[in-house]
Each structure stands twice: as C-alpha cells, then as structure tokens.
Chains A and B, each alone.
Chain A
Amino acid sequence: MITKAQKKSQIKVITGNAAAAIAAKLARPDVVAAYPITPQTEIIEQISQFHANGEMDCELITVEGENSAMNAVMAASIAGGRVFTATSSWGLVFMYDAILAAAGARAPVVMVNVNRETPGIIAVSSGQQDMISTRDAGWIFLIAEDCQEVLDLVLQAYRLAEDYDIQVPVMVHYDGFYLSYLSEGVNVPFQEDVDKFLSVLKTQPERTKLVPGGKLGCGSHGILLGYLELRHKHMSAMERAKAKFERIDKEYEEIFGRSYGGLVEEYRMDDADAVLVGSGSMCGTIKAVIDEKRAAGVKIGLLKLRMYRPFPSEAMIKALKGKKAIGVVDRSLCFGFKGGPIYTELKAFETQLGGSKMISFIDGIANTDITKINVATMIDMTCDLAAGKDVREVTWVSYPEAQEEGGL
C-alpha cells in the first residue's frame, strides 16, 4: 500500500549524518562552513561531495577550526545568506564565543550538533553534555529521535530560524554514534516540495542585511538601555518560537505527511498514571518498553522533548498535569544540582503540575546504553512513586555504585 508520505518522497536507507547532509542540500544554503570532528564528519564529507559533483550550489568554506566555521556562517547570515554548519562536542565549545555572538546578533544560522561528551576524560562517545554547555547561549534547540526526524528537523529549523518574527539561530541536536552512524529507512522529500515548504519565507518582509554601501552598523557597542532593549527582544522572540514551531510542524505535515506534535511528542499519555520524560534516541527504546508494559496493564506513557530551548514549559505542564509520577531521563549532568538538567528545570514548574511527584534518572552518558532493562527499571521506579512508595530522588541507572557512594 502506498501511503501519503511515500508519494511525497523516496525511501533511502541512510545514516543520521547522511540525513542531515541531504536536508542541508535540500535547503539550498548560500554558504556552508565545514570542519571535521567525530561523530559529525560524515555530514561535511557528504556536503563536500555534493559540492564537488555540482549538486550543491553553495560557497563551501573549509575552515581551519570550528571557531571560524561559526564566525563565517554568522557573518554570511548577517549579510543576508542562508547558511549551514555542523559540529560536535569540542568543536561546539571551541566556537562558544561565536555561538553567543551569533545569537546576540540574531543571525538565523542553522547548525547541526551531533551530541558527544565534553569532559577532561577524552570520551569519544555519546551524551548530551555538549548541548547543556551551550543551552544558555540564546539559541533555539531542537532534538531528533531518529534519522527521519534529523532530516525533518533540519528543514523545519530553517523555517524557524529565518522566520521574520523569530530571527534566532537554531541548533538541531541528535545523539552521536546512536544516530550519527545508524542506518535506517528515511523518507527523503523531493526538492520541489522542500522549495515549496521554504518559499513561505520569501513572502515575508526582508530581514535587515549588511550590504556594501548600506550604512548599517552591526555589533555596535550596546550598553545600558540599548542593550536591555535588544536582550528583551531576543527573549520575546524565543517565546514566540514555541507557537511558531507548532505551526511549522502542522504545515510540514500538510506537505510531507509527517507530524510529531510540535514542541513535545506524547506517547500513550492519555490514561497514564506515570510518565517518563526523555529526549533523543532513547525515546525509541522507551516507546518499545512502554508497549510491553502496557500489554501487562501498566499505565505508563512518554513525553518526548522535541524543543529544549526555549523550554516548552506550557506544553509540558499541559501534558503532565495531574499525572501521579514523573521520571525525567537526562543524558547529561547538571553540576551543583543532584538531578539532571531537564529534571532540574522541570522542577521549577512543580507547583503547576498539580501534585505530581518527580524523580531524576541519569543514564546514557559516555555511550552507556539505555537498554530496555534500564528503561524497565525506570518505569518500575516511577510507577512505585505513583503508587505512593518511597523512591530515591536521583538514580544513576547504569552506575549502581553511585547510590552506594552517597551524596546523591
């Protein structure tokens, strides 16, 4: 049977990185800056090959470091171009000053960050700690669950970043190794449909551009009230991004036949007493275990974060309100706090959840698999919490010694 989605695309078996590269090609960027780093390298290799084949008509800048990659695409974006770059881990933090500057300049840069650890222990392994290190930079953060969503989110990111009402850079995150090198079937849309989806931007007023003879100063020395005005406008744009992204998700469905529910995706949430909150590739495993638990009569659901910045608090409260227990799974640490970052942030809205109890799970850092057994443990503990039992606040699921070491 041919589905609506299949008519709109061709199915290819590709990696998450290939999905990101193809999405970048389909978006027709003017300038791409590229620097290799594991596990992102395949993206820029593929883009370089597209460029070499004449399939991608962009200026390709093979920079001497990630800091230059972000600086180059920021400037090209301010000049008026559509831009793309990709990085990971150390690369992300090496461009940190330019990440802050791009956000402050409201340059609508789209970047893929393939999540990887960033500790002093050289961990060439998956984890969202790099994402956490840049979460307060003023970018919009989107997180993909599978290779299909990688492609879809990159395309949606352009609509969001370049929207006249938003003009904020967007970072698309997905788990390194788990998705970057995982091959699965991906519906690759046709160029004409992508052009149609992105053409909405052409109907909007032109954004301010730095052009020769234009007598425009960018990056002026803003102090006192000028600074406050720009920072407040940036905050407001971040707030507007929530509703805008939901509309973009619906429009995407109309053209491509796929919708994820906008800011968050709810999975078997309707009558759930207990809910796991997660993001990224772990959600596939969680969904599989939920199906098994549901078959055994356990009322458990999943709330998947698709947007992490701005923090979709309203959508999360709406979905979680009245649930007896919530277990938040973090693939990163929040130093100075016991629980993970997403848990800690959701805690701020505890009073608005109507008495839901919350616990934190830390798992999947440095490539430790979030296995089905681990997910089952998390579900059981969250269900225990829902049943009124006394449950530990923070659990390092793959490191039982953490509980013995005390302190947490």
Chain B
Amino acid sequence: MTQKKKDNLTKVMDYLKHEDPFSKGVAFCPGCGLELLIRFIPQVLGNDIVITGTPSCSAPVLLGQNNQTWHKLSYFGTLMTGAAANATGLARYYRKAGIENTVVCFNGDGTAADIGFGNLSGAAERNEPFIYICYDNEGYMNTGIQKSGTTPFGATTTTTPLGSASKGKNLRRMNLALKMAMHKIPYAATATLSDLDDLAKKLLKAKEAKKRGFAFLHVFAPCTTGWGFAPENTIEVCRRAVKTNYFPLWEAVNGKIRMTKTVKKPKPVTTYTELIKKFAHLSEEDLQILQDDVDYEYCMLGGLSVLEGECQLPVSSED
C-alpha cells in the first residue's frame, strides 16, 4: 500500500523532487502564503525555470538588491504593465535558439487582473508557450494594501476604507481564472495552499501543457498582514475558502472545465470571513451579498462544466 501510494505521488512531499533554491530566511511577513508558494514551485518544476516577476510582494525576495539575492534561480524583474509580454519574449527566443525552457511568469493579482491584464490576455490569445502564475492576495499588498480587481465585496483596504459613506469595497471581485479559461488555452486552473497535492499536480500539468501553448494558474494566497488574520491561520483561511466555495478548485483543459475538488456540503461564507479582519465590519445583510456572489460564481462554474459535458466539445488527444 505504502509503495503504491509513493508510486502515485499521493504525498505532497513526493512532488518535491528538486531543492529549495531560496535562502532559509527571507524578507516575507510571518505566515505569508506567497512564501510557501514561491518555495514550492521550483521544488516541483525544477530549479532550471526562468522566473519573471514585477514590483510586488514577491519583488524584494525575487529581485534581490544590487548584486545580492535570496535565491539561485534565473530571474528577470520587470514591469507590471508588460509582464506577460516579457515572458513571451523569453520563451520565443528560447524556442528560436533551441533552448529547452520553462518560463514562469509569476505575478500578483494587481499585475494579472489589473494593469497587466491586456498583455496577459494577448499572450493567451497567441497561445504563447509559457506558464503564467497569479498569486492572488486580493489587492496591492506591497504598496500598503490597496484595492485591486480581485478584492472581494465588502473588504476594507486603504483605498476602500471604512467611513461614514463607505463600508469597504462596494463592487464585486472579477473572476480572473474563468476569464483566462475562456481563452480556451491548453491549461487553466485554480489552486491554493491548503491543497498542495492538487497544486503540485496542476503545476506539473501546466508544465506539460506549455508544450502546446499557454498555461495559467490562479493561486489563492492569503495575506496575513493585509487581511488581518493570525499568521498561523494562513492554511486554515485557504481551507475554509475552498470549503465555502469562496475559492473553488477546478481546471480547464482546452477550455473544458472540470472541478478538481467538489465540496459536498459547502459551509456558509461566514465560516471563511469570520477569520479575517477585513470583513469584520460587515452586517448580516452585507455578508448575504457576498454569499450571493459566491453562489453566483459557483453556479456559473458548475453550469459551464455541465454545459461543456452536455455539448460534447471536440476533445483533443492530449485531454
């Protein structure tokens, strides 16, 4: 039994085939979801990946300062406006020169969903051969917790503060991952840190899919400092986001959507929000709006996956 489990790589540790290229002590906040993610990726995909990234929470660690750095990876620190275009340039040149490569374009939600969405969408439309990973901490955390397109309804940030005329963000969050799946790219998926085996599988699938073109991963990475929860609760926040369907786990191969984890009895969204200070001011009525939005998104996702099954989309041989 044990042997069989190992063969199937069912334990998270078994996916970690490569060394952790990061220094043991780095400049992330205690309990940072991003740190776990960025250490995890090269241990699964290999240390020969080329990472591109932008000014963000990941920047101080990934960029290094002057000639000093916290990791041993090839890295290109670049502009938020053109992150996907930079990765495109690298991947295309490597292809032209016959250089084996895995380019990982690693950005926060500010770059992916807001300022850099145009070129992310463009790269997906052109089916560029690289992996784009968005770590979503629902705002501009590095610049001091400002609202982004993925900040959820009701959340307080420094640009959606509480006041006599405001009770946090008065708009819903955009569904970045679904938008990317609609590009019908070889691979799109959501993942989070409470389900690392799922994340590892999806990373490996993305690496495989990139041989056919664009691969996109949307990783839910909570921010203890910006959201206001205890550092030891990062994984619990992720777990509850999944169990409430606040952040469902799914994948789309060539646009064909499939849930990778189905929650049989989803908990109310309050099970998730109660851990987090940025939602603490919300009334029952406000929380119902958030719940309705979560239900809407999940219904749409479920509908799309059923629809795609019923419509019998043409399936490519790689599925």
In the complex, which of the residues A73, A98, A220 contacts B66, with contact meaning CB atoms closer than 8 Å? A220
Q: Are B89 and A33 in contact (CB under 8 A)?
A: yes
Taking the complex as formed, is B50 at the interface, i.e. its CB lies under 8 A from any CB of chain A? Answer: yes
Q: Are B81 and A67 in contact (CB under 8 A)?
A: yes
Q: Which residues of A contact B (CB under 8 A)?
A: 30-31, 33, 58-59, 61-65, 67-81, 83, 97-98, 101, 210-227
- Complex: A396 Cα to B43 Cα, angstroms: 65
Q: Are B65 and A75 in contact (CB under 8 A)?
A: no
Point out the residues of chain A lying under 8 angstroms from B94, CB to CB. Answer: 79, 211-212
Q: Which residues of B contact A (CB under 8 A)?
A: 47-50, 52, 59-60, 63-67, 69, 72-79, 81-90, 92-97, 99-102, 118-119, 121-122, 125-126
Q: Which 10 A-B pairs have the closest CB atoms?
A: A71-B82, A226-B66, A75-B89, A64-B122, A219-B77, A68-B85, A71-B85, A72-B89, A76-B89, A213-B48
Total cross-chain contacts (CB, 8 A): 166
- Complex: A217 Cα to B75 Cα, angstroms: 5
Closest A residue, CB atoms, query B66? A226
- Contacts A31-B96, A67-B82, A71-B86; is A223 near B65 (CB within 8 Å)? yes
Q: Are A217 and B69 in contact (CB under 8 A)?
A: yes
- Complex: A78 Cα to B52 Cα, angstroms: 12
Q: Are B66 and A30 in contact (CB under 8 A)?
A: no
Kindly provide the distance from the CB of A98 to the nearest chain B CB, expressed in whole angstroms: 6
Q: Are B93 and A220 in contact (CB under 8 A)?
A: no
Point out the residues of chain B lying under 8 angstroms from A218, CB to CB. Answer: 75-77
- Complex: A76 Cα to B167 Cα, angstroms: 46
Kindly provide the distance from the CB of A93 to the nearest chain B CB, expressed in whole angstroms: 13
- Complex: A78 Cα to B79 Cα, angstroms: 14
- Complex: A31 Cα to B86 Cα, angstroms: 12
Residue in A68, A81, A101, A222 whose Cβ sees the most chain B Cβ within 10 Å: A68
Closest A residue, CB atoms, query B47? A213
Q: Are B74 and A213 in contact (CB under 8 A)?
A: yes
Kindly provide the distance from the CB of B148 to the nearest chain A CB, expressed in whole angstroms: 19
Point out the residues of chain B lying under 8 angstroms from A81, CB to CB. Answer: 93, 96-97
- Complex: A72 Cα to B82 Cα, angstroms: 8
Closest A residue, CB atoms, query B49? A212
Point out the residues of chain A lying under 8 angstroms from B122, CB to CB. Answer: 63-65, 68
- Contacts A59-B93, A63-B122; is A220 near B63 (CB within 8 Å)? yes
Residue in B60, B93, B100, B102 whose Cβ sees the most chain A Cβ within 10 Å: B93
Q: Are A226 and B119 in contact (CB under 8 A)?
A: no
Kindly provide the distance from the CB of B25 to the nearest chain A CB, expressed in whole angstroms: 18
Q: Are A211 and B74 in contact (CB under 8 A)?
A: yes
Kindly provide the distance from the CB of A17 to the nearest chain B CB, expressed in whole angstroms: 24
- Contacts A68-B85, A222-B65; is A101 near B78 (CB within 8 Å)? yes
Point out the residues of chain B lying under 8 angstroms from A67, CB to CB. Answer: 81-82, 85, 119
Point out the residues of chain B lying under 8 angstroms from A101, CB to CB. Answer: 78-79
21 contacts between A and B (CB under 8 A): A59-B96, A63-B119, A72-B82, A73-B89, A75-B88, A75-B89, A78-B76, A81-B93, A97-B79, A101-B79, A210-B76, A212-B74, A214-B74, A217-B74, A217-B77, A218-B77, A220-B69, A221-B65, A221-B77, A222-B65, A223-B65
In the complex, which of the residues A63, A75, A80 contacts B87, with contact meaning CB atoms closer than 8 Å? A75
Q: Are B76 and A212 in contact (CB under 8 A)?
A: no
Point out the residues of chain A lying under 8 angstroms from B74, CB to CB. Answer: 210-217
Q: Are A215 and B73 in contact (CB under 8 A)?
A: yes
- Complex: A62 Cα to B100 Cα, angstroms: 23
In the complex, which of the residues B89, B118, B126 contacts A79, with contact meaning CB atoms closer than 8 Å? B89
Kindly provide the distance from the CB of A74 to the nearest chain B CB, expressed in whole angstroms: 7
Residue in A31, A71, A98, A222 whose Cβ sees the most chain B Cβ within 10 Å: A71
Q: Are B76 and A97 in contact (CB under 8 A)?
A: no
- Contacts A64-B125, A81-B93, A212-B102; is A220 near B85 (CB within 8 Å)? no
In the complex, which of the residues A212, A220, A226 contacts B99, with contact meaning CB atoms closer than 8 Å? A212
Q: Are B67 and A31 in contact (CB under 8 A)?
A: no
- Complex: A63 Cα to B99 Cα, angstroms: 22
- Complex: A218 Cα to B100 Cα, angstroms: 20
Point out the residues of chain A lying under 8 angstroms from B126, CB to CB. Answer: 61-63
Point out the residues of chain A lying under 8 angstroms from B50, CB to CB. Answer: 210-212
Point out the residues of chain B lying under 8 angstroms from A222, CB to CB. Answer: 65-66
- Complex: A224 Cα to B65 Cα, angstroms: 10
Point out the residues of chain A lying under 8 angstroms from B49, CB to CB. Answer: 212
Point out the residues of chain A lying under 8 angstroms from B97, CB to CB. Answer: 30, 79-81
Kindly provide the distance from the CB of A308 to the nearest chain B CB, expressed in whole angstroms: 26
Q: Are B65 and A220 in contact (CB under 8 A)?
A: yes
